[in-house]
Amino acid sequence: MNKRFASSALLLTTACFWGISFVAQVIGARYMDTSTFNAARFLLGALVLIPVCLLFERDHPDRKKIVKTILAAVCGGSVLFLASFLQQYGTGMTANPGKSGFITGIYTVLTPVFYFLFFRRKTGMQIWIGAVLAVIGLYLLCFDGTAGFAFGTGELILLAGAVFWAWHIIVIDRFVDGVSPFKFACGQFLVCGVLNLIAAFFTGAPSWQAVYQGRWPILFCGILSTGIGFTAQVIGQKLAGDPARSAILLATEALFSALGGFVWNLLPIPAGYRVDATMNAYGVAGCAVIFAAIVLSQLPGKVGHPEQARVGRNE
């Protein structure tokens, strides 16, 4: 098996897990509040990564590397907490995996824009074309043929989540050099899980019964999307050696979110586990335009994009 095929398989597997996780998030939101669901999934994700750390990072790093890894995990986990909270809350409100996945995917367009605005990192023309396309795609995605533009609270929260996902990429880009990647991931998932657990006690005491009832969505998001997904992403990107190609393959997450909801409803499952996978013609067009914006924003222009190597939500 050559490296190109192996990397493509791993990255597409990651995108598939991330995309289908939107279906699990919609179902999970029916059983428990946002903080409880995220606490369970990220603490489980951290637990899954412990054997990965023992397998791939058995070295004994120096004190400086340990401190830097812990600092990066605290910073990354804190931003991850905000991004994932908004994403889960917004996904629960829209209750549509495809719409949630494509709105969240706009973070890939926002990331280079934020690099330019806040760090003066040069960007190519394709970034700004992608940003314009993202706005057009968002309008079409939220356009109802009878009621007009229907951009509700859930969509707004998801868009705010996309902003924090972009900042999560930036935080990783600025902190991750010189750290142990799997230990950093495990640490940031632990920080995110603990912050969600604390928040759960303020927003309403977590219910073990609710966690048990929503155990399948938690297991999918914690084990497949968070633990295995991140591991496959890291190994896949190392084998690929091409940041732009890796980013485009990971961008198919949005496609899998829409396709996942549709296929899920075709399975012989109880009515209570079905999700809203409907989308009108405007919505389909909006998804296509947003995906074009995502891909365009990841294509290398005259000026390279150092951040492309780390595109991915690491969840």
Q: Which residue has the tokens 């900042």?
A: 167
**pLDDT for the residue 1:** 58
Exposure string of 84-113, with b = 16+ CB inside 10 Å and e = fewer, is bbbbbbbbbbbbbbbbbbbbbbbbbbbbbb
| Range of weakest confidence among 40-54, 98-112, 196-210 | 196-210
Tens-place pLDDT, residues 291-310: 999 888 887 765 444 444 44
DSSP codes of every residue in 282-302: HHHHHHHHHHHHHHHHHS--S
Mean pLDDT of the chain: 87
CB contact at 8 A, 141 and 85: no
Split at pLDDT 50, 70, 90, the class of 79 is very high
What pLDDT band is residue 100 in, cutting at 50, 70 and 90?
very high
pTM of the model: 0.90
CA–CA gap between residue 68 and residue 245 (Å, rounded): 29
Tokens of 233: 């992403």
Judge whether 115 and 186 are in contact, CB under 8 Å: no
Are 157 and 94 a contacting pair, CB within 8 Å?
Answer: no
Check if the beta carbon of residue 16 is closer than 8 Å to that of residue 193. Answer: no
Would you state the pLDDT for residue 225? Answer: 92
The pair of structure tokens assigned to 179 is: 């750290």
Within 10 Å of residue 114's Cβ, how many Cβ atoms? 17
Residue 311 has pLDDT above 60, yes or no: no
Q: What DSSP state is assigned to residue 309?
A: G
Identify the bridge partners of residue 148 per DSSP, sorted by sequence position.
Answer: 144
To which residue do tokens 């396309």 refer?
133
Cα–Cα distances (Å) from 202 to 19, 77, 154, in that order, read 30, 19, 22
Q: Positive or negative CA dihedral for 66, 70, 76, 81?
A: positive
Query: Tell me: the pLDDT tens digits for 134-163?
Result: 999 999 998 876 666 778 899 999 999 999
Question: In this predicted structure, what is the pLDDT of residue 237?
Answer: 81
Alpha-carbon Rg for the chain, nearest whole angstrom, is 19
The residues pairing with 27 across neighbouring beta strands, listed in sequence order, are none
